Chain A
Amino acid sequence: GAGVSQTPSNKVTEKGKYVELRCDPISGHTALYWYRQSLGQGPEFLIYFQGTGAADDSGLPNDRFFAVRPEGSVSTLKIQRTERGDSAVYLCASGSGPSGANVLTFGAGSRLTVL
């Protein structure tokens, strides 16, 4: 597609529930990133995929968070046993390759609210 698409745009769930957030990157982009942005903060790096593999998952806060990208395109961020502190906007971005010089294109984000 023309841009990075994220669904759902808004998700409200109850504490303890399981949530999946989807990212559809720009066609042909091999690099895909997930960030989390809490209110009043800058985006916080979560995980980076190059192709199908997670090249760096050092930003995932704990083992309740997991992300996959099985075919090297669409990615899903999975959060188990959600907690109120997980409430944030989850941003996805894609880039044309692994170079640090490449520009990232961000999606509009998925706003997660955990009650």
Chain B
Amino acid sequence: AQSVAQPEDQVNVAEGNPLTVKCTYSVSGNPYLFWYVQYPNRGLQFLLKYITGDNLVKGSYGFEAEFNKSQTSFHLKKPSALVSDSALYFCAPPTNTGFQKLVFGTGTRLLVSP
């Protein structure tokens, strides 16, 4: 079975500084990896995904993530954080059942201070 771990419940960063939200995965075979974001009182929104190919994936709102097979990581990054980036971030792989079950953990809360 595939699983992910987000080791930090919360990440605090000052506006303008770079941010990293960590995700490590455990999977057999080649993983599909996704990042979704949940803004307050709103549903989840897709940020980016890794399927195959280039290890550096660029997504919405200036976010990017690097797939690192040797470290089994898929950390989310942004060079310069905005206060509006404050939200709950979920890293999620699908289960290996041929469709997209997207097993979510508890996520990482990002707080960007002005």
Name A's B-contacting residues (CB within 8 A).
4, 31, 33, 35, 40-45, 48, 50, 55-56, 91, 93, 95, 98-109
Q: Within the assembled complex, what's the spacing in Å between the Cα atoms of A55 and B28?
A: 22
Indicate with 1 or 0, residue by residue over B16-54, a CB within 8 angstroms of chain A CB atoms: 000000000000000010101000001111100101000
Given contacts A100-B32, A103-B49, A106-B44, contact A56 B97 (CB under 8 A): yes
Q: Within the assembled complex, what's the spacing in Å between the Cα atoms of A91 and B104?
A: 13
Number of A-B pairs, beta carbon distance below 8 Å? 64
**Is B106 within 8 A of A42, CB to CB?**
yes
- Category for how many chain B residues contact A: 20 to 34
Which residue, B36, B102, B104, has most C-beta atoms of chain A within 10 A?
B102
**Is B100 within 8 A of A42, CB to CB?**
no
**Is B100 within 8 A of A31, CB to CB?**
yes
Contacts of A100 in B (CB 8 A): 32, 94, 98-100
Name B's A-contacting residues (CB within 8 A).
32, 34, 36, 42-46, 49, 51, 90, 94, 97-107
Q: Within the assembled complex, what's the spacing in Å between the Cα atoms of A106 and B100?
A: 13
**Is B51 within 8 A of A101, CB to CB?**
yes
Residue of B34, B97, B98, B106 touching A40 (CB-CB under 8 A) = B106
Residue of A43, A45, A95, A101 touching B49 (CB-CB under 8 A) = A101
**Is B43 within 8 A of A107, CB to CB?**
yes
Question: Can you list 15 A-B contacts (CB < 8 A)?
Answer: A31-B99, A42-B104, A42-B106, A42-B107, A43-B90, A43-B104, A56-B97, A93-B43, A93-B44, A98-B99, A99-B99, A100-B32, A101-B49, A103-B46, A104-B102
Given contacts A101-B32, A101-B49, contact A45 B43 (CB under 8 A): no
Contacts of B100 in A (CB 8 A): 31, 33, 48, 95, 98-100, 102, 104
Which residue of chain B has the shortest Cβ distance to A89 in the bound complex? B43
Which residue of chain A has the shortest Cβ distance to B34 in the bound complex? A103
Q: Within the assembled complex, what's the spacing in Å between the Cα atoms of A29 and B84?
A: 30
Contacts of A104 in B (CB 8 A): 44, 46, 100, 102
Residue of A41, A48, A106 touching B99 (CB-CB under 8 A) = A48
